[in-house]
Amino acid sequence: MSGELQTIRRLYRNSWRLRTSAVLGDPVAAVQNLARGSDGHAAYERIRSRGDLVRGRSGLCMSATYSVCDEVLRDNRFLVAPTSTRRLKLTPLPEQQTDFLVHPLDDSLASANLPEHTQLRKRVAPLFGGARMRARRAFVEELVERQLDRLDTDEAVDLIGEFALRIPSLVIAELLGLPTSDHDRFARWGIEFGATVDGARSAGERRRVHVLLAELTDYFAAATAARRRDPGDDMISALTSAVDDGVMSEAGLVSTCQALLIGGFVTTANIIGNAVTALSAQPEQHERFAAEPDRAADVVEETLRWEAPAQYSVRIAGEDMELAGHHIRRGTPVVALLAAANRDPEVFDDPARFDLDRPNARDHLSFAAGVHYCLGAGLARMEGEIALRGLYRRYPGLRRAGALTYCPSRVIRGPQRLMVRTR
Ligand code: HEM
């Protein structure tokens, strides 16, 4: 049988098994089986109702409990990326698990474990330091003002395409030193990547992932080569020195650039899309924010808590251990449901409610925790705050006007198209 045919049969068999398990009441399979772009909270609540850590029929474990998710993210005995199993010679994960969880940016910082991760992070983290980010503030403010002009119309307009996606993608292009005219390409890559980051479920999707990764790799290989010839004050130029010092491989450089581009902008755009969705559904909260747009930082934190732009993080147990009263065998994947942890009633009162005055909104796990805590958190917060302040200051009567479709993803949560009226 040809390899392609085998792949098709395997994907079909695994999808079928998963659907059957979900129908038979396996709550873990039900989360894995969520339709892309659908609201996962009811399925996450079923995990919560079964305990702090729930093992599915496939062996995959999930937690919707804040304290357990936090522990998994902070405990370095848990490793990132299912590919770790190959590198660290752990028992390979059953296909049924990897097909749904593999993160393709293999050589990036986000997929590295200690001690390699510490070295890489030391080289990348200074690029996101406070002073560097503060220096970008004026650039972001000016950019937001220009993009707000695009919404100045009597017609209904797509807030995501015309505004929300443009801010972070133009910011990241500037940071990486890429031509801003490539913005449309970045938007397409970000959306396609979001749709497939949790693995392919058909041969067609698998091919799309390969094509996408090849496009991204070619693009960044050319961009890094260009920066080497003609260095500037940008992140790619700064990172090429990490390659020269032997801290990062050439493939790692390309993967890290991909991670910055892809990880850094659909998620950030979702702060804007999710905030407008939440505020539109709660007119009293909308009124208050429109009257006090300087509370944008509170809106950003509560939005991140209310709907995590990246719904979960995956870790692999690097050794046998105890977790939440369960024995976890080395090599077991554990999914920390960040979106569910953010709605844990033990930590957040009336968690499904969007509340501008929530005192502990900032305790959310949307940027994860521990050594892999999001490097772009400060940047994303700044962009979200400036964009939302500008948006409600300029258009206090902003309201939804029909269609709202979500990104076709199980991991990335936020509107892909959100029609609004500004007048
Ligand atoms: C709202 C926006 C964002 C969200 C919700 C978000 C979320 C996350 C999460 C959950 C992780 C940890 C993944 C894991 O534990 O497996 C992470 C890591 C990371 N994020 Fe973000 N992110 C956002 C914006 C950004 C931006 C703007 C950048 C950069 C331009 C960025 C760069 C990174 C990097 C490099 C890592 C890997 C850090 C490491 O492994 O040490 N992120 N992000």
Q: For 238-245, what is the mean pLDDT?
A: 88
Q: Which atom of ligand 1 is nearest to the CA of 120?
A: 41
Provide residues with CB under 6 Å of ligand 1: 80, 109-110, 121, 172, 259-260, 263-264, 267-268, 271, 309-310, 313, 366-368, 372, 374-376, 379-380
What pLDDT is recorded for position 391?
98
State yes or no: pLDDT of 35 exceeds 60. yes
- Return the closest-CA partner of residue 7 out of 211, 193, 206, 210: 206
Distance CA 79, CA 83 (A): 10
Q: Which residue's alpha carbon is nearest to atom 40 within ligand 1?
A: 110
What pLDDT is recorded for position 100?
46
Split at pLDDT 50, 70, 90, the class of 247 is: confident
The tens digit of pLDDT for each residue in 318-369 reads 999 999 999 999 989 999 999 999 999 999 999 999 999 999 999 999 999 9
Q: For 133-149, what is the mean pLDDT?
A: 95
User: How far is ligand 1, taken at its centre, from the CA of residue 243, in Å?
Assistant: 22
User: How far is ligand 1, taken at its centre, from the CA of residue 383, in Å?
Assistant: 14
Q: Which residue's alpha carbon is nearest to atom 30 within ligand 1?
A: 264
Domain ranges in the chain are 3-421
Q: Which residue's alpha carbon is nearest to atom 20 within ligand 1?
A: 374
Residue with tokens 């497939």: 196
The pairing of beta strand 333-336 with beta strand 61-63: parallel
Split at pLDDT 50, 70, 90, the class of 6 is: low
The pairing of beta strand 399-406 with beta strand 78-80: unpaired
User: How far is ligand 1, taken at its centre, from the CA of residue 348, in Å?
Assistant: 23
Distance CA 385, CA 299 (A): 8
Q: For 72-97, what is the mean pLDDT?
A: 67
Task: Give the 3-state secondary structure percentages of the chain, helix then strand then coil, rounded to 5.
Answer: 60, 10, 30
Does domain 3-421 sit in CATH 1.10.630.10?
yes
Q: Which atom of ligand 1 is nearest to the CA of 171?
A: 30
Q: For 385-406, what is the mean pLDDT?
A: 96
Q: Which residue's alpha carbon is nearest to atom 39 within ligand 1?
A: 372
